[in-house]
A = this chain, B = another copy of it.
């Protein structure tokens, strides 16, 4: 060992000990005949003192140390006269008697500090320096803790971690696969798994009973802040369970993580909300319930008011922003601009101010009488001083717009504190989604999700209304995970593929192994998968999952530090029987 102690552990009780520390020069200050150096390692910072009157030559050498030099120092632990109570080691310093420079350092391209001057691109290119910053390293420590506690919890309940392969078969249903050419099987390709979904189901057929895996998954999609080409799932599956069993066990996991890592307790069970209610009251299948501000439907009240925007709308709904009647023209214009942004797409915004004198002021005064406004306010449970924000239009679209407006108001009103956590289960998802472009149904979760038993008769007659045994875990408007009770009957699975427009041949070609497996005694089973990256981001209060990943890729899917991807030798391409053909 190059050290007797780390830079984070010496205290007053160590005074007079002779110690050796090793680490990085964080900062150096000269004062009279003395040089003070902050020596940094993962565990903390300890002050070193080089005293000219004690050893002039050593002090001269210390004066030449630059930022980020790696040094090894031996000396005596002394009590500091000028204590730093913000630092655990702040009561002591090391009076240095020996100094070894283990490595020099060029001047870093940005400062290694919580508030660095480095831009995103520079920090990505020199990620190994960015990772020296406490703020970044703390996220990875949190990630380690969360993964470890997840394993501890699941192990204690008899779950076995089973590694499934990374080189699997391509499954065109779903997102785009990354593929891997096989040299030993020329012209053929492996795919990287988008999730171990089918393999974990096979493990249930095998009788593993309780499986989990913290596992890398891959999707070749265009990227954005919360997406990476490779991401990590906490992937779980159980046999002989019903939906409620899964919800209980994995609610337990979420609670265990909150308790063990953030020391947060939740009283009672997490709320459960149907997908229908989530859309009705929040316009989102991942509602942020840190604050209320539920939608109130107004169509019945405003019908035939003479305002075509409302009369012709399929849906009219609003939210009540408590205490916001005093919003200025400018503030209301901002909100109107917000909902009219192309990403949101509303035509306009109707507001109603509930003034303190009991009167109302609305952008649609022309059509809405005081009487009608009063009725609206009553329906929305508004008090004097509140501001009502109303959108009208097509059903699903308008709800989504109103949902975005609700989140915006939550942020403006400071109702989205990152240190407050509001988890819930969203349940009873539809089994199918209709796609206008391809004129077919798609599985809302995936083709292995089971319909609710009572809805099975509707599969042919009212396909779109069939509800699934599917559920999502949502915290603060973030979908942390989701899952379903799976189909374990090969006939029902066949039916499902048929409804999804698979020919029997195509179903067999792609999922034959699973359908075959179901013929040999598949147990009832179900599971869930959590996104570890999002989970860590939520705990760390991050805006992007990138900051909890050691070596993330940028939006072009590049690792700018490694310069990957890159071109490969022609010899390598030849071995793979491949040729690169630029697009015409």
Contact = CB atoms under 8 A, between A and B. Distances in A.
Interface in A528-567: 549-551, 553, 556-559, 561-567
A44 to B, nearest CB: 11
A224 B203 CA distance: 26
A161 B185 contact: no
- For A144, A177, A489, the residue with the greatest tally of chain B CB atoms inside 10 Å of its CB is A144
Interface in A240-267: 240-242, 245
A140 B206 CA distance: 12
A348 interface: no
Given A43-B209, A513-B562, A567-B187, A557 B182 contact: yes
Given A218-B166, A232-B163, A189 B521 contact: no
Contacts of A290: none
Interface in A140-168: 140-141, 143-144, 147-148, 151, 155, 160-168
Contacts of A582: 186-187, 577
A329 interface: no
A360 B549 CA distance: 70
Contacts of A132: 206-207
Main secondary structure of the interface of A (DSSP, over half): loop
Nearest to A20: B240
Interface string A8-39: 00000000000000111000000000000000
B565 A205 contact: no
A209 B163 CA distance: 27
Contact of A523 (B103, B164, B202, B522): B103
Contacts of A561: 513
Contact of A162 (B160, B184, B241, B550): B550
B161 A144 contact: yes
Nearest to A179: B568
Contacts of A229: 167
A366 interface: no
A517 B128 contact: yes
Given A165-B559, A245-B1, A583-B186, A160 B140 contact: yes
B556 A179 contact: no
Contacts of A118: none
Interface of A: 1-3, 6, 22-24, 40-43, 68-70, 72, 102-106, 108, 126-129, 131-132, 137, 140-141, 143-144, 147-148, 151, 155, 160-170, 172, 176-192, 199, 202-203, 205-209, 216, 218, 220, 222, 229-230, 232, 240-242, 245, 488-489, 512-513, 517-524, 549-551, 553, 556-559, 561-569, 572, 574-583
14 contacts: A2-B242, A41-B209, A102-B524, A105-B519, A163-B232, A164-B550, A167-B564, A169-B559, A170-B564, A177-B572, A184-B556, A186-B583, A189-B568, A578-B581
Given A105-B519, A131-B202, 7 more contacts: A2-B524, A6-B209, A128-B205, A140-B160, A185-B556, A186-B582, A189-B568
